[in-house]
Chains A and B, each alone.
Chain A
């Protein structure tokens, strides 16, 4: 069969039902195969939209997301989603067209060195050089994308090779001698970790997105509740431990709760699971958790001791390790009351520094109130995607995520414009669930074209736009650290969002009054098809609390 038909067959063999993409000259043959190949193709309006949609699909479902693009500009438009998927460990496969082999290296029309450009931001990439390698390349790409620490894999297919005739045989196993991710954690280290936990007086469990990738939420809950361990999650880990909960401290890090950050600061033992001690977590590294010993559970050995040296490193799959750790821990019969003093200390912080804001006395909608209203309107049951900025942090603070894969955001790369296309992908992956994109007015305009995709493809995402007419997070930093010199943050004449939604064929709504907000939101959720709700909030509200960049937990402000 044609090599492109083999691509489609290979995708189906990997369990793919939907691909997101945009055609062009170099991947025309692939699109011919898609015409009647039996896969759903979602035609996006920009390759960045397709890439983030693949990420949203993957994050909502745990399955590998797939995006297609043509050579040159199509491929370069995918670079941001690829980098985003790399930093947030999202299982994704990107298939790009490349110019004909005889044109490679000649600066041909729409030629870009796609494997070269993406090399620093892929888990792996493959430039096809023999069409007979295509089925095995696709199988390897999926295997690498979804195993170990998940990530993006790129397959670049020159146009002439994609038109070749090959014998297609389904691939049932891949042979990658240089790729053998560790699954089982070292048994002795697990025993030692259990013992350390049993002897800790001020322990904290610090969980990240790796727990969600490993589908290890249940095991995490078991570990935390096998004793009275306080638990906090990174922005990527929210939902791995159900909020609210007696043992839940809230998110940690730059905009985390004081309880979580102070607990880390005073802890004698920190057990990190699928988290990588990012600078947004540690703040000033030399003053991070100065009294603590560290257990570090991670599937990626290179994360161990990268930023913070680990006393008890355990490399492997979080689900398997936590299962064993719980068993070992229970066998020790630790005395739960040893943590009473620690909980008294934490209770003091919780009482003194609850997460809160001063609500408006009039009809003004405070952004935090908007998130609370969104929680109420959705019953806490929606999949929420977000863009990047203040609204993202407020959502992480005020929306209690009850389970994994309900919170989809760009944590590592911090990609504005991520929210709408990722909501689109999440909705395609989970057609029966309510999917809401909490957008910022800066971010939304970066990929607003995907509203056309939602309308055409009947993808009924609801966009709740937190509109403060500013690039709010940058404005906040300018207010706090740059003497209120507001440079390049005023959005000026913003679009009429209701009309814009209507122009795209979606439903537009607006809320400017606190009293009507909940009803407007409920109305939007009950409306068929895509809806954009322009919620006009306080213009200059700051997201607190906050650890200023490069400072320590003790320096929290607000």
Chain B
């Protein structure tokens, strides 16, 4: 903003434009570096709830530096103004860095475990699907199979859709983690 304003002293106020819409309409992956201190996750979760923001997925883990943890969370940009979300997060003293990852420049993965009712013919079909999705069968019983699938949330949702008709006993997902593509740090 301000780039398109003509030089000189004259300015038509009508030329002043607002920044682009605050609702982006897409899902955002926020990668947040925080100090590894007690209560930090509660501060972030509390901030989301009191500002009325919804967290779709959340993953927390250590980084290569033991004083710093990484929180990866996904937020729906159609429902929430992402700039408000990130600006409010930045106000937390323990939050060191926030990156709103650009989907095309990001490698994101999630791990999901599917426990499926699997008897008779279904067993073979499920294992075929697992193979196509490069999943692994990690547990077998007489009446069930548990399949591990890794990928983007689209891939995991596609697998879920395929195997649900066999009888989905339960599903556990980690929430996405992500890293910026290329040499730059996330």
Binding site for B on A (CB under 8 A): 115-116, 119-120, 123-124, 127, 129, 144, 176-179, 188-189, 192, 195-196, 198-200, 268-269, 293, 300-302, 304-306, 309-312, 332-333
Given contacts A302-B87, A305-B84, A311-B18, 14 further A-B contacts (CB under 8 A): A119-B46, A120-B46, A120-B50, A178-B34, A179-B93, A188-B2, A196-B11, A302-B90, A304-B87, A305-B22, A305-B83, A309-B18, A311-B17, A312-B16
A144 to B50, CA, bound (A): 22
Our pick among A124, A305, A332 for the contact of B9 (Cβ within 8 Å) is A332
**Which residues on B sit within 8 Å (CB–CB) of A176?**
93
Our pick among B22, B34, B39, B42 for the contact of A309 (Cβ within 8 Å) is B22
- What is the chain B residue whose CB lies nearest that of A292? B13
Task: Decide yes or no: A196 and B13 within 8 Å by CB, A178-B96, A309-B18 being known contacts.
Answer: yes
Binding site for A on B (CB under 8 A): 1-2, 5, 9-13, 16-19, 22, 34-35, 38-39, 42-43, 46, 50, 83-84, 87-88, 90-96
A115 to B43, CA, bound (A): 10
A129 to B37, CA, bound (A): 11
- What is the chain B residue whose CB lies nearest that of A119? B46
**Which residues on A sit within 8 Å (CB–CB) of B16?**
196, 293, 311-312
Q: With a 10 A CB-CB cut-off, give which of B10, B13, B46, B83 has the most chain A CB atoms.
A: B13
Our pick among A178, A305, A332 for the contact of B35 (Cβ within 8 Å) is A178
Q: How far is the CB of B129 from chain A (nearest CB, A)?
A: 45
**Which residues on A sit within 8 Å (CB–CB) of B12?**
199
Task: Decide yes or no: A178 and B93 within 8 Å by CB, A127-B38, A309-B22 being known contacts.
Answer: yes
**Which residues on A sit within 8 Å (CB–CB) of B18?**
309-311
Q: How far is the CB of A161 from chain B (nearest CB, A)?
A: 14
- What is the chain B residue whose CB lies nearest that of A116? B42
Our pick among B10, B38, B90, B93 for the contact of A301 (Cβ within 8 Å) is B90
**Which residues on B sit within 8 Å (CB–CB) of A300?**
91
A179 to B92, CA, bound (A): 8
Would you call the interface of chain A mostly helix, strand, loop, or mixed? mixed
Q: List 27 A-B contacts (CB under 8 A).
A: A116-B39, A127-B38, A127-B39, A129-B38, A176-B93, A177-B35, A178-B34, A178-B92, A179-B93, A188-B2, A192-B11, A196-B13, A199-B9, A199-B10, A199-B13, A293-B13, A302-B87, A302-B88, A302-B91, A306-B84, A309-B22, A310-B18, A311-B1, A311-B17, A311-B18, A312-B1, A312-B16
Q: How far is the CB of A94 from chain B (nearest CB, A)?
A: 16
**Which residues on B sit within 8 Å (CB–CB) of A200?**
13
**Which residues on B sit within 8 Å (CB–CB) of A196?**
11, 13, 16
CB pair A119 B91 closer than 8 Å: no
Shortest 3 CB-CB distances between A and B: which pairs? A302-B87, A311-B16, A199-B11
**Which residues on B sit within 8 Å (CB–CB) of A188?**
2
**Which residues on A sit within 8 Å (CB–CB) of B87?**
301-302, 304
A440 to B90, CA, bound (A): 39
A178 to B90, CA, bound (A): 8
CB pair B13 A269 closer than 8 Å: yes
**Which residues on A sit within 8 Å (CB–CB) of B93?**
123-124, 144, 176, 178-179
Our pick among A178, A312, A332 for the contact of B95 (Cβ within 8 Å) is A178
- What is the chain A residue whose CB lies nearest that of B10? A199
CB pair A178 B94 closer than 8 Å: yes
**Which residues on A sit within 8 Å (CB–CB) of B91?**
123, 300, 302
**Which residues on A sit within 8 Å (CB–CB) of B39?**
115-116, 119, 127
Task: Decide yes or no: A198 and B84 within 8 Å by CB, A144-B93, A178-B96 being known contacts.
Answer: no
CB pair B2 A192 closer than 8 Å: yes
- What is the chain B residue whose CB lies nearest that of A151? B91
A394 to B98, CA, bound (A): 45
Q: How far is the CB of A185 from chain B (nearest CB, A)?
A: 13
**Which residues on A sit within 8 Å (CB–CB) of B13?**
196, 199-200, 268-269, 293
**Which residues on B sit within 8 Å (CB–CB) of A293?**
13, 16
CB pair A189 B11 closer than 8 Å: no
Q: How far is the CB of A261 from chain B (nearest CB, A)?
A: 21
CB pair B11 A119 closer than 8 Å: no
Q: How far is the CB of B45 from chain A (nearest CB, A)?
A: 10
CB pair B96 A177 closer than 8 Å: yes
A320 to B1, CA, bound (A): 22
A157 to B13, CA, bound (A): 54
A198 to B13, CA, bound (A): 10
Q: How far is the CB of B24 from chain A (nearest CB, A)?
A: 14
CB pair B5 A192 closer than 8 Å: yes
